[in-house]
Amino acid sequence: MTMKTKFTFLVLSLLFGLSSCIEIIDDLTLNTDGSGTFKYNINLSASKVKVNSILALDSLDGKKVPSLDEIKHRIDKISQELRSQQGITQVVVDANYSDFILKLSFDFTSLEALQNGVKAVIKLESGDRPLNQIDYDWVSFENNKLSRSIPQLTIKQSKKLDDADRDLLKTGSYTAITRFGKEIKSFTNEEAMLSKNKKAVLLRTDPYSLMQNPNLLDNTIELLP
């Protein structure tokens, strides 16, 4: 998974919709019992002037621009949906609408609960639109190995942007962090960096590069016995 998360359902409408310089941090902690914590941060502060100017419009390129109240309502609905999911607890949403920084975090009892919770939110956000990859598992843990990949839905949505908006994504960043309760033996992505305590792996790219190659952040991480 990178879980790369389908929390880009937020990015789809809130970020890519506003097409600005984006900083995203995707942070997954997996405990030895299979429970864990997921954090997803979206930072548009570097483009807050542009975001404010876009929000002041009724439409842009023929598409309706959501009002700030509509964005707040959608984020509230997402947090409510997560809180209703079995195996999801401690849902916290910290939204700074002055600097346009959104921080989401929650605990999960298992990777299955994590994925089910995220899929429920995707369905909520998609409305009646068909989602062919909703049953795709982007994170798995088997034989002491965690595998993460990026959902193709996220990539397909980002490809709908025009050239100017895509250029904006080149100045952003996407950081995926995976943390464990014990040391890491190995990992398959050559661009990954191991933490000093050997219990976390970090991968970083920019949204544009990720759009061009959705496999950039794929990784299989093996833990020590």
pLDDT at 2: 39
More confident residue, 203 or 24: 203
DSSP letter for each residue of 13-52: IIITTT----EEEEEEEE-TTS-EEEEEEEE-GGGHHHHH
More confident residue, 11 or 123: 123
pLDDT at 218: 92
pLDDT at 129: 56
**Among the listed residues 107, 122, 97, the one whose alpha carbon sits nearest the alpha carbon of residue 7:** 122
Residues 45-62: b if buried by 16+ CB within 10 A, e if exposed: ebbbebbeebbeeeeeee
* Residue bearing tokens 């921080």: 103
**Among the listed residues 87, 147, 141, the one whose alpha carbon sits nearest the alpha carbon of residue 118:** 87
pLDDT at 126: 67
Integer Cα distance of 126 and 138 in angstroms: 18
**Average pLDDT of the segment spanning 173-180:** 92
With cut-offs at 50, 70 and 90, classify the pLDDT of residue 20.
low
- This prediction's pTM: 0.84
- Has residue 90 got a pLDDT over 60? yes
With cut-offs at 50, 70 and 90, classify the pLDDT of residue 10.
very low
Least confident of 26-30, 43-47, 190-194, 198-202: 43-47
- Has residue 17 got a pLDDT over 60? no
Q: Which tens digit of pLDDT belongs to each residue from 111-161?
A: 999 988 888 887 776 665 555 555 667 788 999 999 987 655 444 555 556
Domain positions in the chain are 8-223
Q: And the tokens for 126?
A: 């998609």
